C-alpha cells in the first residue's frame, strides 16, 4: 500500500494485514517525537492540531473548532460547545531536512474541569507545545499546565498564537512567560507586526523573513530578506537570543565573549536543544494557526528542540514483590516490555486501553502482566489511533503510543509488563473532587442501567466519583466542577440512554481535627453465648497536612496517616491491618456530618486481645471506635474547598467585581492592569461560586470572563459550619 504526503514524495508503510514477523522493523527512536498540545482554554490548541494534521497529510480538509468540525473534537458535546473535553491521540508523519519523523500527538483540554486529561497526557509524553494567546499572554490555566509539566519534568516549546488577533502583543506575551511562569524563555522567532498589521515571521536563527499565503491555506511559504523597517528590531532580538543560548553552554560562552560572529547556527541549535531537554529553558515561536501562519515551523521546532524517547531518562519503577527495590527500564526494544495505561475508553467492540510503551515490544495476541493486581491480560488487538479512527497493527515497540483491545482488569495508572520481568511504574496523581450532586433514576430499568453506566464513566475518568447513600437512597456523583458534572449528566442521558433526575450541586466538604488526643481507647466486646467478639485498640491522633507527611516520608492515604507503634505484642501482628482498616473506614464515613476526615495522623500505641474471642472484625470495630472517639476529643472542624478565581474584566468594572468577590467571602490576592483590562486573582469558597459566571456577565455587560480551579481546603467559620451540618 502506498500513500502520498504533502511533500509530494511517495512513501511505503506496513499494511495491517501483513504478518508482523514478515515486515516489522524496529523504529529509529531518534526519529520519534511524543508531544502534547496544551494551554489555557481558547488559546487555539485544537486549531493548531488541526493545521498540523493537514500539513502532515493525515487529513485532507481542515475542520474548524467554531464550526464544530475539528477532527480531534469528535464528541458531540465538544462540537456543540466548541471546547475540548477529552484528550485525543493521533500519529502523523513529518519530513524535515531530508529525514522522515513520526510524531505521536495528543490534543488536551484547556478547561480546568478536565485537568485530569492534561495530567495523564503529560505523564506519558516526552515533550509539550504550550500555546499562549498573543493578546492575553499567560492565563490562569496556562500556569496550571506549566506546573503539571514541571511535576513530570516535561520539556516545553512555547507558541505565542493568535498574533493576528486585535490587540496581539508579542512583547507583552513573551514578558508574561518570564514574569508569571518564571520561565527562561528564549525567542527564536518574532512576528512582523501584530493584530491587524501581522504579516509574517522572522526566523532569528537564519535571519530570514517568512510569509504564508492564506489563499493557499498556508501551503505556500515565501522566504525573503528581513524588511528594512524591521531589521533593527530583529537584530536586537537575535543578539538577545544568542546571548541567552551562550549562557547555557560553556563553549559558546567563550566564543560569545571573544567573537560572537563565529557562533554558527548548528552550534546554537545544538546548545538550545540540550538546554531545552535539560529543562533549563523554553524556546519561543509565534504565529497564527487560524490564519495558517507558522504551523509548519512548529513541527520543525518540535524536531529541533524536543526530545526523542531515548533522550529522556530511563523510566523508573519498583519491584512488585518488594517496593523498596528500585528498578528501571531503558528506552530500548531489546529491554523487557513495560508500558503505562494512561486512558481507558469504552467502545462497542471492547474497551480501548491507551498505552505508552517505555521499553520492549508488544504484539497482538500476546499476554502481559498487570503487576498491580497480579492478573495476566490478553492483547487481542493493537491499534494506532487517529482521534476516533484507528489503524490495525501486528506489532509495535518502544516509544510508541497505541491503543489495545482485550484488557479487562487494567485501568488508568496501571503498569503492564513482561510476566517474566515484573515492574510497577510510578502511578499518576488524581485530584480529589470538589463538587457533588444527587442523581436519581426515573424507572427501575433506568436504575439497573445507571449502575452499569457509572461504572463505565468511573473507568474512563479517574477524577469522577460515585457512591450510593444507603440512608437516603440517593446516588451521589462527584467531580471537578459544575461543567464536569453537567457533561457527565448529558452523557448518561444522551449517550447511555439513562433517564435521570439530578439535584442541585453540593460542595464536597471535609472534616478535620484541630488538636491532639492521646491514648484514646476503643473497646469492642460482645458476648452472646458461645464464642464472643473482643478487640481493644488505643490510638493517638494529631493534625498532619500532606506536606508534613511528605517531609517525614510518611504515607498519607485519603488524607490519613496510620502508624503502627505497638510494642510488646499487646496486639498480634495479624490484627494490626484490621485496626487500620477500621480507622480508615471511620475516617471515610465522617464524624461531624458524614464528610470524610482528612489531615489526621493516627498512631496505634497499645491494645489487648483475647485468645479465643479476638477476630479481624472485632479489631476493625475497635479501630473505628477508637478513631471516632479520639477525633471527637481532639476537636472537629469542617473544611470547605477554596477556589482560585481569576477574573478578566474591563478596568471600569473593577469596583463592582471586587465588591462582589468580597460579598462572597473572597479575598483578592493579586490585581494586574493590562492596558484597559484588569486581571483579578482571588481565593473564594466554592459554596459561594455557584452560578457566578452568569452574575459576572450581567455585572459587566457580558464583557468579563472567569476561570477557577481548586486551591486548598480551609476551616469554615463556626456560624456557617452549623448551617451546613444542619442540612447534612
CA distance 683 to 12: 56
What are the cell numbers at 368? Answer: 502481559
Q: Is residue 681 part of a domain?
A: yes
Question: Rounded CA gap, 129 and 145, in Å?
Answer: 11
pLDDT at residue 626 is higher than 90: yes
Give per-residue pLDDT as tens, 107-116: 776 555 566 7
Per-residue pLDDT of 9-35, as tens digits, reads: 323 333 333 333 334 456 788 999 999
Helix (H) / strand (E) element for 446: namely helix 444-460
Among residues 402, 425, 448, the one where a domain terminates is 425
Contact 56, 6 (CB under 8 A): yes
One domain, residues 56 and 186: yes
Distance (Å, rounded) from C-alpha 138 to C-alpha 651?
Answer: 19
Same domain, 534 and 649: no
Residue whose C-alpha is closest to residue 130's, from 290, 280, 303, 302: 302
Does residue 91 contact residue 384 with C-beta atoms inside 8 Å? yes
% of the chain residues with pLDDT over 70: 89
Check: CB of residue 635 under 8 Å from CB of residue 514: yes
**Domain shared by 127 and 261, yes or no:** yes
* pLDDT attached to residue 388: 66
Domain identity same for 265 and 401: no
Cell of 341: 495505561
Three-class DSSP category at 403: strand
- Give 536: exposed, middle or buried? Use CB within 10 Å, 0-12, 13-18, 19+: buried
Same domain, 394 and 516: no
Considering 508, 541, 573, which residue would you say is the last residue of a domain? 508
622 shares a domain with 519: yes
Same domain for 520 and 419: no
Res 115: pLDDT = 65
Q: Higher model confidence: residue 647 or residue 74?
A: 647
Task: Note whether 198 and 69 are same-domain residues.
Answer: yes
- Phi/psi of residue 629, each to 5°? -65, -40
Q: Are residues 452 and 370 located together in one domain of the fold?
A: no
Q: What is the CATH number of the domain that holds 702?
A: 3.30.70.240
Give the single-character DSSP code of 13. Answer: -
Residues 697 and 609 in one domain: no
d(CA 303, CA 478): 41
Q: Are 622 and 535 in contact (CB under 8 A)?
A: yes
Domain contains 694:
yes
Phi and psi at residue 404, to the nearest 5°: -125, 155
Q: Cell digits for 76?
A: 458531540
Q: What confidence score (pLDDT) does residue 60 get?
A: 63
The closest of 603, 600, 682, 685 to 644, measured between CA atoms, is: 682
Q: Which of 36-50, 70-84, 204-218, 228-242 has the highest mean pLDDT?
A: 228-242
Question: How many domains, in total, are found in the chain?
Answer: 5
Q: Are residues 341 and 354 in contact, defined by beta-carbon separation less than 8 angstroms? A: yes
User: Is residue 445 scored above 90 in pLDDT?
Assistant: no
Residues 128-160 pLDDT 10s: 999 999 988 988 778 878 888 888 899 999 999
Q: What is the DSSP string of 223-281?
A: EEPPPHHHHHHHHHHHHHHHHHHHTT-HHHHHHHHH-GGG--HHHHHHHHHHHHHTTS-
Nearest of 345, 485, 480, 329 to residue 411 by alpha carbon: 345
Does an H or E element contain 547, and which?
helix 546-551
Residue 298's nearest CA partner among 99, 31, 55 is: 55
Find the domain containing 488 and state its range. 435-508
| Distance from the first to the final alpha carbon of the chain | 65
Please write the tens of the pLDDT for every residue from 289-335.
Answer: 989 999 999 999 999 999 999 999 899 999 998 888 999 999 999 99
Distance of CA 105 to the CA centre of its chain: 15
Contact call for residues 643 and 575 (beta carbons, < 8 A): no
Residue 430 within a domain:
no
Domain shared by 404 and 527, yes or no: no
With a CB cutoff of 8 Å and minimum separation 6, the contacts of 47 are: 64, 65, 70, 289, 290
384-408 per-position pLDDT tens digit: 877 667 888 899 999 898 889 999 8
Q: Cα-atom radius of gyration of the chain, to the nearest Å?
A: 28
DSSP 8-state symbol, 473: T
Instruction: Kindly report the CATH number assigned to the domain that includes residue 488.
Output: 3.30.70.870
Where a domain ends, among 508, 532, 567?
508
Pairing status of strand 127-133 against strand 32-39: parallel
Cell numbers describing residue 86: 477529552
- Shared domain for 621 and 675, answered yes or no, is no
Amino acid at each position: 500500500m502506498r500513500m502520498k504526503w504533502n511533500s509530494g514524495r511517495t512513501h511505503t508503510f506496513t499494511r495491517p494485514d501483513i504478518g508482523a514477523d514478515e515486515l516489522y522493523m524496529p523504529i529509529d527512536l531518534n526519529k520519534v517525537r511524543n508531544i502534547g498540545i496544551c494551554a489555557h482554554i481558547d488559546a487555539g490548541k485544537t486549531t493548531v492540531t488541526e493545521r498540523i494534521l493537514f500539513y502532515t497529510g493525515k487529513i485532507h480538509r481542515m475542520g474548524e473548532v467554531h464550526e464544530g468540525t475539528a477532527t480531534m473534537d469528535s464528541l458531540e458535546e465538544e462540537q456543540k460547545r466548541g471546547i475540548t473535553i477529552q484528550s485525543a491521540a493521533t500519529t502523523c508523519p513529518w519530513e524535515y531536512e531530508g529525514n522522515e519523523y513520526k510524531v505521536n500527538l495528543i490534543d488536551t483540554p484547556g478547561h480546568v474541569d478536565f485537568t485530569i486529561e492534561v495530567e495523564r497526557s503529560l505523564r506519558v509524553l516526552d515533550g509539550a507545545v504550550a500555546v499562549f494567546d498573543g493578546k492575553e499572554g499567560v492565563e490562569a490555566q496556562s500556569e496550571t499546565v506549566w506546573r503539571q509539566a514541571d511535576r513530570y519534568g516535561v520539556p516545553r516549546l512555547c507558541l505565542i498564537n493568535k498574533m493576528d488577533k486585535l490587540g496581539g502583543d508579542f512583547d507583552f506575551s513573551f514578558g508574561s512567560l518570564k514574569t508569571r511562569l518564571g520561565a527562561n524563555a528564549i525567542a527564536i522567532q518574532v512576528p512582523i507586526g501584530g493584530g491587524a498589521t501581522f504579516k509574517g515571521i522572522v526566523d532569528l536563527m537564519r535571519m530570514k523573513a517568512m510569509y504564508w499565503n492564506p489563499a493557499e491555506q498556508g501551503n505556500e511559504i515565501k522566504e525573503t530578506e528581513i524588511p528594512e523597517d524591521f531589521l533593527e528590531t530583529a537584530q536586537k532580538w537575535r543578539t538577545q537570543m544568542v546571548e541567552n543560548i551562550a549562557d547555557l553552554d560553556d563553549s559558546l560562552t567563550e566564543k560569545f565573549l571573544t567573537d560572537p560572529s563565529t557562533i554558527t547556527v548548528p552550534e546554537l541549535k545544538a546548545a538550545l536543544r540540550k538546554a531545552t531537554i535539560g529543562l533549563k529553558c523554553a524556546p519561543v515561536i509565534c504565529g497564527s494557526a487560524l490564519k495558517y501562519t507558522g504551523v509548519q515551523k512548529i513541527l520543525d521546532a518540535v524536531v529541533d528542540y524536543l526530545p526523542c524517547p531515548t533522550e529522556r531518562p530511563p523510566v523508573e519503577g519498583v519491584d512488585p514483590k518488594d517496593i523498596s527495590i528500585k528498578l528501571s527500564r531503558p528506552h530500548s526494544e531489546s529491554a523487557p516490555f513495560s508500558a503505562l495505561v494512561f486512558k481507558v475508553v469504552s467502545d462497542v467492540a471492547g474497551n480501548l486501553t491507551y498505552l505508552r510503551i517505555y521499553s520492549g515490544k508488544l504484539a497482538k495476541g500476546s499476554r502481559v502482566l498487570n503487576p498491580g493486581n497480579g492478573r495476566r491480560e490478553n492483547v487481542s488487538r493493537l491499534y494506532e489511533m487517529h482521534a476516533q479512527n484507528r489503524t490495525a497493527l501486528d506489532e509495535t515497540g518502544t516509544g510508541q503510543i497505541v491503543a489495545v483491545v482485550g484488557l479487562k482488569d487494567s485501568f488508568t495508572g496501571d503498569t503492564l509488563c513482561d510476566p517474566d520481568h515484573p515492574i510497577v511504574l510510578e502511578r499518576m496523581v488524581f485530584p480529589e473532587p470538589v463538587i457533588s450532586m444527587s442523581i436519581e433514576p426515573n424507572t427501575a430499568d433506568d436504575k439497573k442501567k445507571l449502575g452499569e453506566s457509572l461504572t463505565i464513566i468511573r473507568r474512563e475518568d479517574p477524577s469522577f466519583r460515585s457512591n450510593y447513600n444507603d440512608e437516603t437512597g440517593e446516588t451521589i456523583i462527584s467531580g471537578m466542577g459544575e461543567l464536569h458534572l453537567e457533561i457527565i449528566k448529558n452523557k448518561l442521558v444522551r449517550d447511555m440512554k439513562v433517564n435521570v433526575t439530578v439535584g442541585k450541586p453540593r460542595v464536597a466538604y471535609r472534616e478535620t481535627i484541630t488538636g491532639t488526643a492521646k491514648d484514646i481507647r476503643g473497646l469492642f466486646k460482645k458476648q452472646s453465648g458461645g464464642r464472643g467478639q473482643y478487640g481493644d485498640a488505643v490510638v493517638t491522633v494529631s493534625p498532619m497536612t500532606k506536606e508534613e507527611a511528605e517531609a517525614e516520608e510518611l504515607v498519607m492515604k485519603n488524607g490519613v496517616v496510620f502508624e503502627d507503634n505497638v510494642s510488646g505484642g499487646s496486639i498480634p501482628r495479624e490484627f494490626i491491618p484490621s485496626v487500620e482498616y477500621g480507622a480508615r473506614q471511620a475516617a471515610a464515613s465522617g464524624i461531624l456530618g458524614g464528610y470524610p476526615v482528612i489531615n489526621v495522623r493516627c498512631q496505634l500505641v497499645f491494645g489487648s486481645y483475647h485468645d479465643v474471642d479476638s477476630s479481624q472484625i472485632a479489631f476493625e470495630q475497635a479501630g473505628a471506635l477508637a478513631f471516632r472517639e479520639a477525633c471527637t476529643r481532639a476537636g472537629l472542624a469542617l473544611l470547605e474547598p477554596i477556589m482560585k478565581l481569576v477574573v478578566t474584566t474591563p478596568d471600569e468594572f473593577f469596583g463592582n467585581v471586587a465588591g462582589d468577590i468580597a460579598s462572597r467571602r473572597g479575598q483578592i490576592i493579586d490585581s494586574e492592569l493590562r492596558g484597559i483590562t484588569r486581571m483579578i486573582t482571588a481565593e473564594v469558597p466554592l459554596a459561594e461560586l455557584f452560578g457566578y459566571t452568569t452574575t459576572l456577565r450581567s455585572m459587566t455587560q457580558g464583557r468579563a470572563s472567569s476561570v477557577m480551579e481548586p486551591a486548598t481546603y480551609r476551616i469554615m467559620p463556626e456560624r456557617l459550619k452549623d448551617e451546613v451540618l444542619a442540612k447534612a
